[in-house]
């Protein structure tokens, strides 16, 4: 008969990844790193934490094997250790959507009312791109666009959109996208564009889901 202690040790090891993600801030870090490699300083700014606190969270993820790091001069850069980590995060997110009470209200409190926002599916956007009758805006930070983006998309980070509205062709039909279903950047872009008279919609989810579906991706 198999040793009970060995079985317990095995199952304890199997939950190490889940334990490493048992922090909202570490989940945020994985969500950002699903877009591409970032420095500690950039990650700290993204999750609203000090560099020291962010480094502690990253070390926890590193010890669990969920992320990897490299040094370039005085800077340390982190990335997900494999696509499986992104899959794990998406699965946890789906489980929460189906089983965590009150999640829908928490999302609404953060994202605002989405009922008036037009949305478009990945397949519909792919068809529109083939037809060439849509302008696709990547409103994530420029570093994330450079790491990977929907092929044909134009990079206009959300913080720059208001000052760069004149770059959008007159009469264009625009689709904005960002990091995923809980990323607010695309919502903000659609609201701003709509107020200025531009026909705009948001992609149903984000770039990681587009890439996971093996749809056309560009890199710079």
d(C-alpha 10, C-alpha 43), whole Å: 33
Query: Distances in Å between the alpha carbon of 1 and those of 4, 9, 139?
Result: 9, 16, 57
Residues with a known catalytic role: 178
Provide φ and ψ at 166, rounded to 5°: -70, -10
Provide φ and ψ at 35, rounded to 5°: -85, -25
d(C-alpha 141, C-alpha 160), whole Å: 10
What stretch of H or E contains 200?
strand 199-206
Report which of 214, 208, 203, 218 is spatially closest to residue 122, judged by C-alpha positions. Answer: 203
Query: Distances in Å between the alpha carbon of 117 and those of 18, 32, 35, 182?
Result: 34, 24, 24, 14
């Amino acid at each position: 008969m198999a040793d009970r202690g060995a079985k317990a040790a095995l199952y304890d090891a199997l939950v190490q990844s889940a334990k490493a993600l048992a922090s909202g801030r570490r989940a945020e870090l994985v969500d950002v790193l699903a877009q591409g490699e970032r420095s500690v300083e950039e990650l700290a700014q993204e999750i609203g934490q000090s560099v020291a606190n962010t480094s502690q969270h990253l070390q926890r993820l590193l010890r669990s094997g969920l992320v990897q790091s490299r040094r370039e001069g005085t800077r340390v850069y982190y990335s997900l250790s494999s696509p499986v980590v992104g899959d794990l995060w998406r699965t946890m997110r789906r489980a929460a959507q189906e089983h965590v009470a009150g999640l829908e209200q928490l999302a609404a409190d953060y994202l605002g009312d989405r009922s008036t926002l037009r949305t478009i599916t990945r397949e519909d956007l792919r068809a529109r791109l083939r037809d060439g009758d849509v302008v696709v805006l990547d409103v994530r930070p420029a570093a994330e666009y450079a790491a990977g983006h929907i092929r044909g998309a134009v990079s206009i980070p959300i913080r720059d959109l208001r000052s760069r509205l004149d770059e959008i062709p007159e009469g264009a039909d625009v689709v904005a996208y960002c990091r995923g279903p809980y990323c607010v950047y695309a919502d903000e872009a659609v609201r701003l564009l709509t107020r200025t008279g531009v026909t705009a919609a948001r992609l149903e989810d984000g770039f990681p889901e587009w890439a996971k579906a093996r749809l056309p991706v560009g890199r710079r």
